[in-house]
Amino acid sequence: MNNKGIKTVLSLSVLISLALSPAVSANVTDKDILNDQATTGDVVSYGMGLRGQRYSPLAKINTDTVQEIRPVWAFSLGGEKQRGQESQPLIKDGVMYVTGSYSRVYAIDANTGDELWQYDARLPDGIMPCCDVINRGVALYGELVIFGTLDAKLVALNKDTGKVVWKKKVEDYKAGYSITAAPIIVKGKIITGVAGGEFGVVGNVRAYDAVNGQLVWERPTVEGHMGYIWKDGKKTENGISGGKPGQTWPGDLWKSGGAAPWLGGTYDPDVDLLFFGTGNPAPWNSHLRPGDNLFSSSRLAIDPDTGKIVWHFQSTPHDGWDFDGVNELISFDYQENGKTIKAAGSADRNGFFYVLNRENGDYIRGFPFADKITWASGLDKNGRPIFVDSNRPGDPSESKDGTQGTSVVSAPAFLGAKNWMPMAYSKDTELFYVPSNEWEMDIWNEPTAYKKGAAYLGAGFTIKPINEGYIGVLKAIDPKTGKEVWRYQNYAPLWGGVLATAGNLVFMGNPEGYLLAFDAKTGQIKYKFNTGSGIVGSPVTWEMNGEQYISVLSGWGGAVPLWGGDVAQRVKHFNQGGSVWTFKLPK
């Protein structure tokens, strides 16, 4: 071959390489984020849209074609840092951004699976994550990739290089704070919550300027604590977070009251409100804190401009079972008597599904979605639980030696009828697809006292399966009637998110390692593929070069093997992992 031939071959190879490599991507705008659910060429927000419906209008992969999809690449997160991989990928202009355990971020060429860059947070030795060293994803804005860390920082990276642009301390990790949720971007502001309810922290939702990381406002989520707005470098009081200090708390317990909004939030532009759920009150021993203990175990509607709490709905007042109220509140509309109802749905850890008016927080309806509920006999006309007093763990001060209260068998278990794993809503079927678990627990109370950075529970527990053949149940639920349309029962607990598409499909992964696709109307399994490790991440779909792709993280871990009691024994042989799997139809 002569020199001219060599130059021609080299030129062709360079052109092919350039064609396959992702171009420098355009900056992500507020408009991009608001339109995320409707646009198919990218995924630029957690929840595949700020409402969190996890629905895609893509239909090339459908009930007729899904059995033909193939893995086109798999990317290893590498190293010994495995544990649970609960991230949801984001994709923009041919680049995928995912987080891994131990606060790591990766940029991946979405065409080939090649790594473009990796960022590892330098975590201190003293981090105190409650429920595994997980991270659920990043936010994209402008030229930044933004995520929270296990030592309670926000970090903004350059999307093209992975270099740190700015870093902000959100809270003191030595007090038990951490961040595991993916932030969301609303009106140019990063909105983030914090984790740490098991350590007696004070829950807080904060807004930061997405460009420079400057604090805009903060809103504590425990009644009695002061909120603030920052403007022009000046700090202005924005009122206490509802009510007077101690109004629904005894003594000074509100000062370490928990209520951490650890799962992050959603946003609905129709009513211009953020929706955040709050976690358990601290301590778990409810006899130490008589009262409703606002705003723990609640859903909060927050003004995105000021941080003001516009309305609240408390799903488990005076929570004594660690049921939290943190699960996502998803906006959806439905027709009733010729009127459009602006609703929001949430499947609570306590076993009840709630439908609220998202404009004002009014209770529309609620119904059990767990098969077994022992702590409450139902909901009253306002959605308040009707407690079964005998199913509250006993007061240890009334025992003979004062060390342990009466133990009760309670269902659901504290890990919930549904935990963090996000459900999906399809506007086509008008159904919610809820990943749930059927388990119960022995639970008892113990004496405890607050100490900074120490566990603040005052309870002991053991989780047990209710059924021999299954724990996890994916349920298709009609929010207008409470009817369960279909279900899929899984031997191991479900711990990953759900995706619905216009292809009449519902995608979900299970701890046994399978990516599963179901007929959205009937629940029939249309596809399954084993990824080699348990799936506790959330699948996404997008379109690139005219083809539809599906991606999901694989890597077993999370709270179940750490807190699962007898259930943990059932899944102890599952192997850890850390990889991203991407699928499409063959050409």
33 phi, psi to nearest 5 deg: -70, -45
Q: Cα 318 from chain centroid?
A: 23
User: How long, in residues, is the chain?
Assistant: 587
Pairwise CA distance, residues 424 & 15, whole Å: 41
What the chain holds in terms of domains, given with CATH numbers, is: 47-146+154-334+344-584 (2.140.10.10)
Residue 382 and residue 378: Cα distance in Å, rounded?
Answer: 11
Specify binding-site residues for Ca(2+).
198, 280, 322
Radius of gyration of the chain (CA): 23
For position 543, what pLDDT does the model report?
98
Q: What is the pTM of this model?
A: 0.95
In the structure encoding, which two tokens stand for residue 575, read together? 């192997």
Question: Kind of pairing, strands 472-477 and 484-490?
Answer: antiparallel
Report the pLDDT value the prediction gives residue 14, as an integer from 0 to 100: 37
DSSP 387: E
Look at residue 6 in the predicted model and tell me its pLDDT: 42
| Given the residues 319, 322, 324, 348, the one annotated as active site | 322
* C-beta neighbour count of 338 within 10 angstroms: 5
Residue bearing tokens 């544990």: 83
Going by the annotation, the residues of the binding site for pyrroloquinoline quinone are 86, 136, 180, 419-420
pLDDT, residue 566, reads 87
- Distance (Å, whole) CA 585 – CA 571: 32
322 included as an active-site residue: yes
Using left for φ > 0, alpha for ψ between -120 and 50, and beta otherwise, residue 93 falls in left
Average pLDDT per block of 10 residues along the chain, 587 residues long: 46 42 74 97 98 98 98 92 92 98 97 98 92 96 98 98 98 97 98 96 97 96 94 84 85 95 98 98 97 98 96 98 97 96 98 98 98 98 98 95 95 97 98 98 96 94 96 98 98 97 98 98 98 97 98 95 86 92 96
Q: Which two tokens stand for residue 455?
A: 């566990």
Quick one: CA torsion of 45, 143, 542, 186, rounded to 10 degrees? 20
Residue 2 has what pLDDT?
A: 52
Q: Which of 304, 277, 219, 222 lies closest to 52 in space, CA to CA? A: 277
E strand residue ranges, 9-135:
55-56, 70-76, 90-92, 95-100, 104-109, 115-120
SS3 call for 122: coil
Beta strands in 101-148 (DSSP E): 104-109, 115-120, 139-141, 144-148
pLDDT of residue 242: 72
Query: Beta-carbon neighbour count of residue 504 at 10 Å?
Result: 20
| Binding-site residue positions | 86, 136, 180, 198, 280, 322, 419-420
